[in-house]
Amino acid sequence: NAGVTQTPKFQVLKTGQSMTLQCAQDMNHEYMSWYRQDPGMGLRLIHYSVGAGITDQGEVPNGYNVSRSTTEDFPLRLLSAAPSQTSVYFCASSYSTSGHNEQFFGPGTRLTVL
């Protein structure tokens, strides 16, 4: 298994540009989520999905869209990038076993918005 994969690893955007961060997992996990990590802020939840066709907002959803058309993929879209979205973005996936859900993280995408 490749686990959780994210592309690209690095990206530089200009203010107002749009882009999609890709996330895929090959573990048949039902739950997937996106976090952003900023210095001194820890990891904050942007959006999450509990299964194909189901998404919901996390703690910091503004400026981001998601969709979940398949179990494997959970892309994160920035419609009009802003400098405040400069961050490291992590995708995670999780399975449920005996009611416990342990999340596995991808390697991250480092985004700079100029």
Contacts to other proteins by CB under 8 A? 4, 31, 33, 35, 40-45, 48, 50, 58-59, 90, 92, 94, 96, 99-108
Indicate the residue among 14 and 97 with the shorter CB distance to other proteins. Answer: 97
Q: Give least dist CB 50 to other proteins, A.
A: 5
User: CB of 11: closest distance to other proteins in angstroms?
Assistant: 15
3-state helix, strand, coil split of the chain in percent (to 5) is 5, 60, 40
Rounded-to-integer distance, Cα 89 and Cα 64, Å: 12
Nearer to other proteins, 17 or 105 (CB): 105
Question: Whole-number minimum distance, CB 20 to other proteins, in Å?
Answer: 19
User: Residues 10-47, buried b or exposed e (16+ Cβ, 10 A)?
Assistant: ebebeeeeebebbbbbeeebebbbbbbeeeeeeeebbb
Q: Which is nearer to other proteins, 13 or 92 (CB)?
A: 92
